[in-house]
A and B are shown apart, each in its own frame.
Chain A
Amino acid sequence: MTIDVALTAIMLLVASSLLLLMTALAVVRLVRNASERMAGERLRAVRPMLLRQLSESPPNLSKLAGESRSEHRQLTQLVWCLLTKVRGEAKIALIDWLILQGEVRRECRNITSRRRLVRVRAVKRLGDAEVRSVARAIESQLCDRDQYVRIVAARSLGQIGDPASVRPLLHALSGQPCLPHNVIVMSLIHMGPQIAHELITLLQHEDARVRSVCAELLGLHGTAKALQKLAFLAERDTSTKSRVSAIGALGRIGAPECLPALQRIAFASDVKTCRFAAIRSIGLIGGPHARESLTALANNDDAEIAKLAIVALTTMGEQGLDVAREIARSSSELAAVARDQLERTALSRRTFRRRTETEMALTP
């Protein structure tokens, strides 16, 4: 009897849930269609108005306002979206409008919200608006308990570009909870060469990870005034990771005066990863001296070194490619490596050419 009652109850529950779900499905679809239609209509109403005022010279958004509350909300959302898509005066006008409407102040308050989604949105929007005065508040979110808040905070700091944020960002590399290396590096790249001085100072930081990232960034920014310190780091640093980063940076900067240091490392270093990095960097620097060194290294007894030297030769341009072609034609064991590498170079050149052509075709 009890089982009967229980089963009947469950059945009724399941049946009513089924009906409820079916109704929910239909209602969700109806509501979604209606809201999409309404949003579309609102957007159609506010977008031309906004774009018209933005196209004025100088853009003047002071009189911009939606007729109703929902239109105003739509307009605000549109302005936040446009913020990442415009530059120059138009962007400044949009930011001014947001400040005028109290939106920036509201997002500043939201940074400390208990809801993580609100925090993420606030941090992202403030980054998009490039409001330098809130950089300190965003820095505090680098150790937020939510991973995405931390990632977005790093990205926003990169967009704001305040050199004072370099140290907190680098600290987040080893802090607890930490941020991924690629996120930090990308944020620092966004800041541009204006942080070079700060990065050169930090080449002497006690944390090897910080030294390594600084070296990497100096290379990416092509900071020639850091050459001496980078060369010192490449040869003398206690951490292999920092040394490899410094060697890579020397190659990226591409100054021929670094060649002697790199040659010393490539031929005589005890650490194999440093030797590998030095060979790659010599290839990037190029020139007759680099070619001589790499040709010598291509005949090295160590197969890995020889293979890498061939790879480096193909990155040098025509001078290096000639040597690689000679090796490919020879009967040595490395001929197959050279052939494979030559083909890769040809393919990547074609890709580059294709991309450039596409970009040129797309550029008005």
Chain B
Amino acid sequence: MSEEAIRFALQWRFGFEAVVLVYFLALNGIYLFLTVLAVISFTRYFRRSDVVENNDVFANPFSPSVTVIVSALNEELCIEETTRALLGLHYPEFEVLIIDDGSTDTTFALLRNTYGLVPSDRMPLSCDISIEGPVNAVWVSPEYPQLCVIQKRNARARADALNVGIQYARNDLICISDADSLFDPDALLRVARPFADDPSRVVAAGGIVRPSNGCIVEKGTLASAQMPSGFLAKIQVIEYLRSFMIGRTGWNVLKSSLLISGAFGIYRRDLLLELGGFDSRSLAEDAEMIFRIHRHFRTGPGTCGAQEQLQHLPSISTRKDYRIEFVTEPVCWTEVPVTARVLGRQRRRWSRGLAEVLWKYKHMIGNPRYGRIGMFALPYYVIFELFGPIIELLGVITLGVFLLLWGIGSVLDHPNAFLDLQHAQLLLLVAMGYGALLSLAALLAEELSFHRMQRWRDLAWSLLAALGENFGYRQLHSWWRLQGLIQWIEGREAEWGIMTRVGHRIYDHQERKLL
């Protein structure tokens, strides 16, 4: 091998190492920063929650009323428990709208039999939002007056079902959720609190969502949080903890929230009506709505409530004076996929949805008119979330190739020309160790704050999952995200697919055993 070739290989190697190092340091620096912010936020929140009680919101007749909209498509395994949990929520004034989005299983029959549903003449309060799947029938329960079930034709979009709910909603706030989500009894009180405390500025709010797999449900509420049995589900428990307790909380401190989970989010009704409801063509309708809210308040009219007056919330008349709040308390427990096939489909959809939303709102990226959102949060999402899988997979592939070349170099007596094995090993260990460190930080935050998983066995499994996700899962996850990105570039038709439900582990109080 000529000297020139070796010099070229060395230069190339150093260049690549520099790029990887810069990316690595930037990404982990941001994560560390977000972790610090999240810890500060948690500490403040918990000290305050000792003194400021949610009962104030409950006892106040001027607290904003809430309509909970649940879209259900073939959810026979969990619809009963979810509805029971919803009807048992602690909140002064709320109604539950279940939108049966063209289920072909026994979802509706279960609801009708359990709650004795009867046909209703209920009319939509607003018809300003366009709907693709028309409403077939409206049902109410004489026994549970706050329950209403709306049957509609499936339009292959969850957003369409939510839009039907918005049309029929009568209350000040709209809470969107899924049929596989279980709410904590105080969930509405906690998340509606920012609206009650700062009614003229808060326009949307969300809370921590955690996987419900493995948890025990009793009388529609989560009785005990436990680790699920499958390793994929265990890893997702850690993933959700990291994402919500570190990521979302940190971004919220920076006032740069770009996402409120579709599993649990509360919005002002007048704002949703003014924005025309959720985008039924979007795969990430929850993220798209938050982007739209930012655009509306930063560069659009910036007001809401001029046409539709809410009962207990004042209209917002000043541009830019708005807040999207993230409540650092677990409010919702949702079922996560347990098989690689379903999980892959879900992650491809998320990645595709992110690409789609970022493309749609590309004018916001790096735009100083959008403040921290445009200058900091969005560039982060583009570089580390959207292109993250490309760089991560490139790293894995390059490592493989370089290992091969290292073998060739060793034969040619120039083993370090293509790869410095010591460097590579160190970098790999640091990357994996850092990932585990973040997961452990999230676990520690959970332990210090909510302490929901009380068994030592669960703690041990959490630690194992935090360390184990680096070996195979992260690479597979990057591959799914990359596939989603490629699908979006190709413009292939989006597919929601069927989520295989396992259902909740229900504890029968009378029989004193798990069903």
| Chain B min CB distance to A14 (Å) | 4
Known contacts A11-B429, A336-B121, A350-B145; is-contact A180 B199 (Cβ 8 Å): yes
Residue of A nearest to B198 (CB): A180
Q: Mark B447-477, 1 if CB is under 8 A from A, else 0.
A: 1100100001001000100000000000000
Summarize A's interface: helix, strand, loop or mixed. Answer: helix
Known contacts A25-B447, A29-B459; is-contact A14 B437 (Cβ 8 Å): yes
> Is B433's beta carbon under 8 Å from chain A?
yes
Q: Which residues of A contact B456 (CB under 8 A)?
A: 29
| Chain A min CB distance to B123 (Å) | 5
Q: Which residues of B contact A124 (CB under 8 A)?
A: 51
| Chain B min CB distance to A250 (Å) | 19
> Is B411's beta carbon under 8 Å from chain A?
no
For B441, give its contact among A21, A29, A121, A336 (CB under 8 Å): A21
In the bound complex, what is the Cα–Cα distance between A151 and B145 (angstroms)? 33
Which of B55-63, B182-190, B225-233 is found at the contact surface with chain A? B55-63
> Is B320's beta carbon under 8 Å from chain A?
no
Range for the number of chain B residues in contact with chain A: 35 or more
For B121, give its contact among A7, A8, A343, A354 (CB under 8 Å): A343
In the bound complex, what is the Cα–Cα distance between A15 and B146 (angstroms)? 54
In the bound complex, what is the Cα–Cα distance between A4 and B50 (angstroms)? 48
Q: Mark B172-196, 1 if CB is under 8 A from A, else 0.
A: 0000000000000000000000001
Residue of A nearest to B170 (CB): A344
> Is A182's beta carbon under 8 Å from chain B?
yes
Contact B440–A25 (Cβ < 8 Å): yes
In the bound complex, what is the Cα–Cα distance between A152 and B51 (angstroms)? 9
For A350, give its contact among B52, B61, B123, B142 (CB under 8 Å): B142
Residue of B nearest to A342 (CB): B121
Q: Which residues of A contact B137 (CB under 8 A)?
A: none
Contact B444–A151 (Cβ < 8 Å): no
Summarize B's interface: helix, strand, loop or mixed. Answer: helix
Contact B451–A22 (Cβ < 8 Å): no
Contact B145–A7 (Cβ < 8 Å): no
Contact A11–B433 (Cβ < 8 Å): yes
Q: Which residues of A contact B447 (CB under 8 A)?
A: 25, 28-29, 32
> Is A120's beta carbon under 8 Å from chain B?
yes
For A347, give its contact among B59, B145, B198, B436 (CB under 8 Å): B145
Residues 412 to 430 of chain B near chain A (Cβ within 8 Å):
422-423, 426-427, 429-430
In the bound complex, what is the Cα–Cα distance between A351 and B436 (angstroms)? 51
Residues 324 to 364 of chain A near chain B (Cβ within 8 Å):
336-337, 339-340, 343-344, 347-348, 350-351, 354
For B426, give its contact among A4, A22, A155, A336 (CB under 8 Å): A4
For B52, give its contact among A4, A148, A182, A347 (CB under 8 Å): A148
> Is B80's beta carbon under 8 Å from chain A?
no
Interface residues of B (CB under 8 A from A): 17, 21, 47-48, 50-52, 56, 59-63, 120-123, 140, 142, 145-146, 196-200, 312, 314, 422-423, 426-427, 429-430, 433-434, 436-437, 440-441, 443-444, 447-448, 451, 456, 459, 463
